[in-house]
Structure 1
Amino acid sequence: MAIIGLGLLLFALLIGNMQNFLQALGRRNMEMSLRRRDVEQWMSHRRFPEELRRQVRQAERYNWAATRGVNEEMLLESLPEDLQRDIRRHLLKLVTKVRIFALMDAPVLDAVCERLKQTIYIKGSHILHQGGPVEKMVFIVRGKAESVGDDGILVPLSEGDVCGEELLTV
């Protein structure tokens, strides 16, 4: 009887956990559909051409897949400052791969990390325009990118690489 009772208890716990999981999944799907509807209404109101609408939809899907709908900036801002600093250091440990940043002390690095902004780009995005001024540094945290020099040479970039170091040497 004890084994049967324990089995029924474990089965009830399994059913309860599955129900919670399905409710959370449904909630996420609802958030995604509401966001998609809001974006569609915004694009309709602004009278976007169809090609631009397609690109916005693709970017929204990509952002949702990458973040699962979590607003990371808002989540980070709600945490205590020391924890924010530790999380930024962890997420942006790539900063110390740049030689000039590696020579800096911790308070200066913390100030640099506070100014950094995480951005998600979809495939085919132009991050910096060829021939234009370099206005930002790009740290590749995940994924791949390509850098085309003034001489037309294509340099592949992957996780851990940095583009735009010339900002620091000028």
Structure 2
Amino acid sequence: MAIIGSGLLLFAILIGNIQNFLQALGRMYKRQEMQLRGRDVEQWMSHRRLPENLRRRVREAEHYSWAATRGVNEEMLMENLPEDLQRDIRRHLFKFIKKVRIFALMDEPILDAICERLRQRTYIKGSKILSMGGLVDKMVFVVRGKLESVGEDGI
């Protein structure tokens, strides 16, 4: 019985060590993927001869984007899923839209069509979402964070 018990204990320890190894391997893979993406972005910026202030902003935007999505291209992932599953996922991701009174009164098919057009975006501090005097071609929902609105009078 002692031999069987110690064998089971050693086997459990072995399984635990293998699990830890696989988790570490996954983290290492994500880190390498992030480094490769960073290297590609740096090469692109160098090729396009971007000035340093733009390079800094691109690096910051890439960092924010990576942190928000963990390197997963959500648009590509959604594109490969069945349409009914895409619709259900969009309903879940954009359930905040029903908090807007005009959208709360709409039928489900119309809301589904609206949610199909919605895209999640991450903006870094200091980004200009809409320009003063420009045409308004989009609607923006601020879900997290702070948005500063400056009028023509500077207020």
TM-score by length of 2: 0.90
Aligned to 1:65: 67
Aligned to 1:164: none
Question: What is the identity, as a one-letter code, of the residue corresponding to 2:10?
Answer: L
Q: Out of 16, 19, 26, which is 1:17 matched to?
A: 19
Question: Which structure is higher in strand share?
Answer: 1
The Cα offsets for residues 48-98 of structure 1, whole Å up to 9 and x where unpaired, read as 011111111111111111111000111111111111000001100121122
Aligned to 2:84: 82
**C-alpha separation in 1, matches of 2:128 and 2:50:** 20
Taking every aligned residue pair, what percent have the same amino acid on both sides?
64
CA RMSD between the two structures:
1.7
The gaps in structure 2 that reach 5 residues or longer are none
Range 70-79 or range 139-148, more displaced: 139-148
The higher-RCO structure (CA 8 Å, 6+ apart) is 2
Question: Which structure is higher in helix share?
Answer: 2
Aligned to 1:46: 48
2:148 matched to 1:143? Answer: no
**C-alpha separation in 2, matches of 1:56 and 1:86:** 33
Local SS of the residue matching 2:148: strand
Q: Out of 83, 88, 113, which is 2:115 matched to?
A: 113
The gaps in structure 1 that reach 5 residues or longer are 154-170
The Cα offsets for residues 30-53 of structure 1, whole Å up to 9 and x where unpaired, read as 111111111111111111011111
TM-score by length of 1: 0.82
Aligned to 2:5: 3
Aligned residues: 153
The CA deviation at 1:140 is 2.0
Local SS of the residue matching 1:56: helix
**C-alpha separation in 2, matches of 1:68 and 1:131:** 36
Aligned to 1:55: 57
Query: Is this contact kept in 2: 1:94–1:139, CA < 8 A?
Result: no
**C-alpha separation in 2, matches of 1:149 and 1:91:** 31
